[in-house]
Structure 1
Amino acid sequence: MKAITRRLALSLALAGSMAVLAATAARAEDKELTIFDWAGYEDPSFHPKYAEKHGDSPSFAFFGDEDEAFEKMRSGFKADLGHPCSQSVVKWREAGLLQPLDTSKIAGWNDLNPQIVAMKNLVTSEDGTVWFMPWDWGNTEVSYNSEKVDEKDIHSLQAFADPKFKDRVSIGDNVDDAYALASLAIGLKDWSKMTDDQFKQASDFLRQVHKNVRLYWTDTTDIVQAMSGGEVDLAWAWNDAAVQSVAAGAPIKAKKDTDEGISTWVCGYVMFKDAPGSNDKAYDFLNAINDPEVAKTLVGDWGYGQANVKGMEGVDQEVLKEKGYDDVQKFVDKTLFQSPIPSDLKLRMIAEFEKIKAGY
């Protein structure tokens, strides 16, 4: 996505519950369909066939993170479709927020990446019911200012806790990404099996990182501006941070080959229970974003992958190589998948991360 478009969209992102309420009505187009989404994903280039068919884009409401969205939905907010990621789908489903998807109404369902579809308890529940359409996937990874940071100093994720980077670091104000970083740093690839001792090690690591943090970014605009403006030199950020920083002319690079690896997440769309809008339009939207042509925008402008295999096959090979998607097996070889984790562990992470950010 072009930087200015992203910046304007992300300016609608939420900083707190009042901002959520304000942003809910910020994009009211087709009122028969409301998408509860991350800010930025309302860009028409992601759903051109929907707009072509219905003459307008859906209405969008925005959230800042999935825990915030979860609480808003539980409090009675109504939308038709939502955009959670892999670590939250089970939580949303078990809370009774979702209704099953009818895959016969989703064009290209059989073209979805079989490895993603097969991820345990993500797309389907044990009885075979489908709850989630995977769509975008990518990484949280090391991004750095190549003019200020020597690459040999960041071969390990331990660099985030290195005193030499004091006041030069940023990580997301996002418990999932934070504990993905910490899990990798202590050598844990499957965080769903995190022991009490490993939880303590991961939390202690984040406390060390906190000493170096200049800011906790809340959206891509934050971190792009901080890195492009020279405020931050080392970040744990999503793929699009480096892509957009480079587009803005900043010497920012992404590093996927650290000793410990990277974190990979899969996001997609769910249909809410008691969705108030048009069921037919909801499926039209799912079909529009699953169109293989959309992959060219998702990969080229954001640096993310599309779950539709045909879509990825249609992206220019040089673009795939530039964004790191030309060898998927190598891409996932050293990665922590942000898979669903036990709810009690997630609650512990949330509580502990708040203490860490407060300096405790």
Structure 2
Amino acid sequence: MKKSSLLLAGVAASVLAAPALAADKDLLVFDWAGFEVPGLFETYKEKYGDSPTYAFYGDDDEAYQKVASGFKADVVHPCSQMVSKYRDAGLIEPWDVSKIPAFADIDPKFLDSPIFKDEGGVWYLPTDWGVTAIAYNPEQVPAEDVATLQVFVNPKYKGRTSLPNSSDDVWALAYLATGVTDWTKVTDEQFKAAADWLRKANENVQSYWADPSEMSQIMASGEVLVAWSWNDGVAYLKADNYPVAFQREAKEGSSTWFCGYVNMKDAPGSEEKAYDFMNSWLRPEAAQPLIDEIGYGHSNTKGMALLSEEQKLDAGLGPINAPILAQVPNDPKLREKQLAEFEKIKAGY
């Protein structure tokens, strides 16, 4: 089955350099599509009477390339493994955490890296976290088929699977599927085994989704029965009463990740408003709209404590009994190698 062209349309719609949601001209937030949730910037809007201006992107590498090429934003929302690229390129400056009261409530595990915090200051404000696992239609896909990640290479699902157009996420899947749970220590042999597996998985792919809303749309259409998904794609399907299940306990495991905001150097807007935006995001009360609207967890421990265990489990944020590959910062050279190989695999090489 020919791969869908939905990806091209989705990218074109979501990542134009021009602001996608124009509001307060003094703060431009360059963000993942879907994060313009009013509850996250509620106190910002109460103070200024308007929302920040948003521009959107579909994946981390694309966002980095855009700002590295000169696109100006005040804050950007990369995931943890991208922060070193922003630092090495001299694109960001430290946050003054004395202006961010809730910084003390960020779970320490999200700041446990000299890439994020060192003698030069705090370079990264972790805000949200989630998982990547198997989303599937339980009315058409037996539970035993998704008990293993090999469902993505199962000939039964040729032309009925979807993977994210995200190098980090597809390599997390490929490493897990070939027995690797720590991508900070990948050998050449492990890389090759993962690449070979990913080539097989590519043969089953109907489309590579550009953002979670696209993933939910192609699953809802019936074209795709099995997808490697973030929490939000599943949340959107549940909101539309689509039959969907989220399998995090395949025998090979699933992955976790976290993201946050960097403070862009020579930003065009108001520094005061950038801090007000982050203070709104990091307050404990922001955890509720984050999980309600997107299905993600919050970095603020007090915020997570406000959520019920039932909410966390329903969103796919509870504990599991299976291996986990944590998408923490890894070797930048390996990331570039993975990115180049992924492009070759998608092109059929």
TM range (shorter): over 0.9
Deviations 1:118-159 (CA, angstroms, capped at 9, x unpaired): 2x234214x362100000100111100000110111111121
Distance 1:255 1:202 in 2: 21
Distance 1:146 1:159 in 2: 14
Corresponding residue number in structure 2 for 1:247: 239
Pick which of 336-345 and 225-234 moved more.
336-345
Gaps of 5+ in 2: 1-6
Q: CA deviation at 1:253?
A: 0.6
Distance 1:273 1:35 in 2: 14
Pick which of 142-151 and 296-305 moved more.
296-305
Q: Does 1:263 align with 2:255?
A: yes
Corresponding residue number in structure 1 for 2:334: 345
Q: CA deviation at 1:108?
A: 1.0
Q: CA deviation at 1:297?
A: 1.2
Q: For this pair of structures, how many residues does the alignment match?
A: 343
Corresponding residue number in structure 1 for 2:3: none
Corresponding residue number in structure 2 for 1:211: 203
User: What TM-score comes out, normalization by structure 2 length?
Assistant: 0.93
CA contact (8 A) 1:14 1:63 kept: no
* 1:136-175 paired onto structure 2 within 5 Å: 136-175=128-167
Q: Does 1:289 align with 2:285?
A: no
Corresponding residue number in structure 1 for 2:76: 82
Q: CA deviation at 1:101?
A: 0.7
Give the SS at the match of 2:81: coil
Q: CA deviation at 1:43?
A: 2.4
Q: CA deviation at 1:332?
A: 8.9
* 1:271-350 paired onto structure 2 within 5 Å: 271-326=263-318, 330-331=319-320, 334-350=323-339
Gaps of 5+ in 1: 1-10
Corresponding residue number in structure 2 for 1:37: 31
Distance 1:190 1:332 in 2: 17
Residues 1:128 and 1:336: Cα distance change in structure 2 (over 3 Å):
farther
Note the aligned Cα RMSD (angstroms): 1.9
Q: CA deviation at 1:19?
A: 6.5
Percent of aligned pairs with the same residue? 47
CA contact (8 A) 1:228 1:252 kept: no
Q: CA deviation at 1:333?
A: 6.5
CA contact (8 A) 1:86 1:339 kept: yes
Residue among 47, 51, 59 paired with 1:57: 51
Give the SS at the match of 1:216: strand
Q: CA deviation at 1:117?
A: 2.0
Amino acid at match of 1:349: Q
Residue among 115, 124, 127 paired with 2:117: 124
Distance 1:331 1:301 in 2: 23
Residue among 19, 26, 29 paired with 1:25: 19
Distance 1:154 1:320 in 2: 22
Corresponding residue number in structure 2 for 1:182: 174
Corresponding residue number in structure 2 for 1:7: none
Distance 2:316 2:333 in 1: 35
Corresponding residue number in structure 2 for 1:6: none
